[in-house]
Structure 1
């Protein structure tokens, strides 16, 4: 079974899909994207396709090795994301070829359902109570929110109070039996991150995410040693070797993104590495249906799995939701805050190909905002 054709589709709101077809007509789908750089990843997929077309579609691990290590220059978000989407598509093909869901090919399920959380608030979160109440009514047992909008280089007492006030709203709305997580998005410096985590600790967040930007991970051990709040990060780490320094620095929750960190193959290995440090995984996934489907397959087969992000209703969507591109919504029907395991082959997502092709004709050019401090200098988004 040879790979015959590889196509990419730039689909709103900010996604890139790839379609891999074999010479006997089996089709696999993947989601290779760097948000805000989708066109660049599209070109990377086209370059990698030069190697893949004509190859045996079932030699997934060999292809992963060649795509990630066959070039002298390696790593980084663009290459890792291009490989990730192609890897997802090859696992999808393998599952369809063998008539089994991917989690069966990964050793079989260790759970029957995967806990998921919902996003509330936006990049600069405002009123949260109504949004949280809606998610509780929808059955979710956990939510995540940005802790803050733009932060100055040194947070004021008012900035800290605002973060705490938001956390208090979440805890009040959720009660003691549900969870909330706070995403700091790398917006705080190391000193302010420590102060923020200490301030919200009495409210028992499930975790505080990205208290430091990736370039500051050499400060992570100082941060984790100063708190008993679980620290999470990983959406901007792309390999096992990227994660290793964080794992040895007291990380509690690893958050690889299956569309950035080398796909099913590498996220599975990151999870196994994390397990040796007693670290849970909570995969990052504010993306589309293919990335979520792939993430769920890994979750069903991964012992040290905590919770799964998903993008239904997230603030990055405008006129598009991820169900717009699927024919069967059943795998994404969350019941009591969980996604339930199905027996659908491959990744378990049935893509609406005509809808994807039509969306690609419209395309998109999504870019993240650039924030600036009051003095005109660039701020972390």
Structure 2
């Protein structure tokens, strides 16, 4: 079997899909994307395709090593996201060729389903509380939300009080059975992160996410020694080498590699195993499309330390299209009792509606995150 063609599709709301074709008619799909830089990742995919055309798609590990090492300069969001989407598609082909799900090729699943959480949002604490109630009514047992808006390196008590009020309102509305992940989104720097983390500890959170930016990970020591709340981090790390020092430092409790950013199934399987050796949990990042989610679930299936999966069904970003729109088998992600079933179909287990993908690619997107500024005019982390 030989790879004959790689085709990319920029599709709404903010995704990039990849189709890899072979001379035996077996095709694989991947999702190579960095939110806000989809076209840059798309270009990197086509640069890597120069090597892949004519190669055996089943030699996944060797292709991964060549794509990573043979270009001399390596790593970073664009390069590793391009590798990620190609890697997903190659695993999809391998599974289809063997008529087995990817998780069977990775040693077999150790779970049939995994807990999922739903994103919620709102302009006021009362909105967020109602959204939490609605999510629970749909059967979810865990949520995640942004913990604050823009925050300067040292900010006001009013900003802290607003964050506390939001979480307090949710707890008052739904009690303590609902798992709550609070995402600081890298918006907070060390001085205020310590304050916020301590103030929110009373609400017994499932985790706090990115309390500081990954590049400021040395600050995690002070935060971790300050609170008992689990700390999650990893969506902006792209390889096992990025995660290595985080694990060695010992201040992160939950790793969140993104299967479309951190070099795909091949790499994230290794990251998950590294985390297990450090007694660290796995919760893959995935506010993306259906192919990315399917890839995450394949790794969740074989990772004993995976405990929850992010998913984007109904997320606020998905205004023009949602994850099920691009699928033929729209029942593949079976949500029940706050969990989602692990897909058991060949490859990634998702059947892409290619005609619809082609149609939506005619519109495409140039999604960008907003540019925020503080009251003094300086740029703020979004």
TM-score range, shorter chain: over 0.9
Aligned pairs, number: 381
* Distance in structure 2 (CA, Å) of the matches to 1:311 and 1:33: 15
Q: TM-score, normalised by structure 1?
A: 0.98
How far off is 1:322 after superposition? 1.0
Partner residue in 1 for 2:176: 176
- Deviation of 1:176 after TM superposition, in Å, equals 2.2
**Correspondence for 2:118:** 118
Task: Provide the C-alpha distance between the structure 2 equivalents of 1:105 and 1:122, rounded to a whole number of angstroms.
Answer: 42
1:58-207 aligned within 5 A: 58-121=58-121, 127-207=127-207
Partner in structure 1 of residue 43 of structure 2: 43
Residue matched to 2:308: 307
Q: Which residue of 2 aligns with 1:282?
A: 283
Instruction: Specify every segment of 5 or more residues in structure 1 that has no aligned partner in the other structure, as ranges.
Output: none
Alignment partner, residue 371 of structure 2: 370
Shift of residue 273 of structure 1? 0.4
Q: Secondary structure at the match of 2:340?
A: strand
Distance between the aligned counterparts of 1:222 and 1:150, measured in 2? Answer: 22
Which shows bigger deviation, 154-163 or 290-299?
154-163
Answer with 340-349 or 199-208: which moved more.
340-349
CA contact (8 A) 2:297 2:343 kept: no
Query: Secondary structure in 2 aligned to 1:272?
Result: helix
Q: How large is the Cα RMSD of the aligned pairs?
A: 1.3
TM-score (norm 2): 0.97
CA distance in 2, matches of 1:353, 1:224: 46
1:328 equivalent to 2:329? Answer yes
1:169 shift after superposition:
2.1
Q: CA offsets, 1:7-58, max 9 Å, x none?
A: 0000000000000011000010000001000000000000000100100010
Q: What is the aligned partner in structure 2 of residue 291 from structure 1?
A: 292
1:124, CA displacement in angstroms? 9.0
| Displacement of 1:118 | 0.1
Question: Does the 8 Å contact 2:194/2:222 carry over to 1?
Answer: no
CA shift, 1:343, in A, is 2.2
Superposed displacement of residue 202, structure 1: 1.1
Q: CA deviation at 1:222?
A: 2.2
Contact 1:121 1:145 in 2 (8 A): yes
Q: Deviations over 1:212-239 (max 9, x none)?
A: 0122112222221221110001000001
Tell whether 2:260 aligns with 1:263: no
Shift of 1:332: 1.5
Q: CA deviation at 1:331?
A: 1.8
Partner residue in 2 for 1:33 = 33
Q: CA deviation at 1:206?
A: 0.3
Cα separation, 2, equivalents of 1:230 and 1:20? 39
Shift in Å, 1:173: 3.1
Give 5+ residue unaligned stretches, structure 2: none
**Displaced runs of 4 or more, over 4 A:** 122-126
CA 328–69 in structure 1, closer or farther in 2 if over 3 Å, else same: same
Give the conservation status (yes or no) of the 8 Å contact 2:146–2:182: yes
Quote how far apart the aligned CAs of 1:125 are: 7.6
- Which one is further off, 314-323 or 233-242? 314-323
